[in-house]
Structure 1
Amino acid sequence: MSAFISFEAVSKSYGDVKVIDGLNLSIERGEFVSLLGPSGSGKTTMLMMLAGFEAPTGGRIVVDGKRVDHLPPHARNMGVVFQSYALFPHMSIADNIAFPLKMRGMPKAEVGTRVKRALDMVQLSAASGRKPAQLSGGQQQRIALARALVFEPEVVLMDEPLGALDKQLREHMQLELRELHKSLGLTVVFVTHDQNEAITMSDRIAVFNSGKIEQIDTPQLIYSQPNTRFVAQFIGETNLMNGSVAESHDDRASISLGDGTRVIGRTHKSFRPGEQIVLSVRPEALTIGDVAPGLNSLPAVIEDLVFQGDHTRVHLKSGGSKLAARVTGQNHGYAVGQSTHVSFAPEACAVVPQ
């Protein structure tokens, strides 16, 4: 089965500056795919090319079997939600939502029916007669979403739509958007620089770096099995240790660390003996103290303890590496200066190129 949305060798340059470089990306119908990356990585440019606000320098964009990169935005049947909401301040909420329907020449009776349904969907029917300035930031965000959905687009594009909200409201809206995506079967392409947001909401995440996709995978695999050092560092928090490959077989490798300690890690590609690599181990995968059989183990010294509410962050030094672990509760019994061991399962240790 062919993909619903396909970027095929798409490039974008501004003068001599190449922002997107021969990029390929496929999205299935009904998927929620987040484009995640730092500022300037190309993710918003990709979204704007899909929306029709930017034209690719090279390559093709195909939606539902039809090439769309030559079509104007209004001919692509896509709803767009921006961070700024872009609501018309002089119009009522109902008129804001009705605007794209009127621009498409829809009969007045049908416009009224659809606007009511869209307001019901975002649970703001009582606000239909108000102006945007009379609503909270979260309510305005929901109205912008209703306007993007009211004409029943094939695809909904969102560019940092939650960026202006406070933390509590942002997390609430993440769950609301997830529920809307599931209940309506929408195809959503969502741009964000917030790792937690992407992990919470997405079916798959495409991690952008310097105009290329470093990895596209489910949130679980992006987090637990990063393919590159950039992905390991950009998604969540991780411990990085430099080493070299002693042996590599199938999806496992024996790694020699700087102090000569040997550990076993999980690989996603074959490595040559002697190749310089980086180990990535998440803080929650580290166990302090007694070592169970089959686990990697490193001698370590506790350098600091930081209480953070639901867990304590333990800073350690092992050989030439600074490590961080998380332990639950306050009564853990550890002390600064204590000599101990940190251990971790080979499955929790990702081997990535240096």
Structure 2
Amino acid sequence: MTYKHLRTFFLALAAVAATGQAYALQAWPARPVTIVVPYTAGGGTDAVARVLAQFLQKHWNQSVIVENIAGADGIIGTERALARPADGYTLVLQLGTMLLWKPAETGGRDLVSEMKLLSLIQKAPMSFAVSSKFPGSTLADYVQYCKAHPCGIGSATRYAQLIGTHFADTAGLKDTVQVSYKGGSQMTTDLLGGHLSMAIISVASGAKFVEAGQMKMLAVSSAQRFPQAPALPTLAESGYQVFGESWYGLMTNKEVPAPALAAIEAALAAAGRDPALRSFIERAGGVAVFNSPAEFEAIAARERAYLGPLLAKYPAIN
């Protein structure tokens, strides 16, 4: 075979390979994709997952199923998702509380490191709320009040409990009790009924009570002010270096092949540009993010570095 023939042969081979790679990207997904929500149906995570699934279904022209596998603060659903084939057909919409899982709860596994973080879909701060009957209007007023009266700070998630504990410690409220609830409904009832002095609650969940004149929000836990409630100061602006945001992020098994990852990442980038999807997230009380895997990984790493020492300092967090 002459040099000319060899050159023609290898050029043709390269063209076939390139075509095959392009086809692989176009062909994925070739069957239904499942988004595992490791929490019960009907919650905020579930709602976001279903709206995202609708967009992806149209984008891929392929069925996208939402499957709720609740239990153990999101651990059970995540473990089951990771046990499935690493082919990209199983995604997980997880909460930031995954960064607070303890080795004793996961059988010694570091489940976070077993996953490929694809995109942080939305984030939202927690608000520090009091009953409208509380005489003050600032976080400083609350701290002063609690130094003279018995107080309890309520939380319905591990993340909120950690932030509340850190705030009380930073503010010097040594006698303030941390009250853990299984759900936000009873916590809100106790707050409005005068049985709880403060509740750590999402801005969206508390908005209707603020509008009804039953609740006041004193601050938000994010590093910057929340766009949906710009008048609320941050904890840092109020004089307390305490931070924490709840977030939902999409992820999958880290062993998923590159062509499938590329297709998923492209679809999520398109989702982030969709006005209807972004509007839904903002109406639900969040900030639409849809960042890149590298950006998501960096955020998770920073949060783990911040939260790890706090977990060690406050071992009673459960």
* TM, length-normalised to structure 1: 0.24
Q: Which has the higher contact order (CA 8 A, sep 6+)?
A: 2
Greater Rg by CA:
1
More strand by share: 1
More helix by share: 2
User: TM-score with structure 2 length normalisation?
Assistant: 0.25
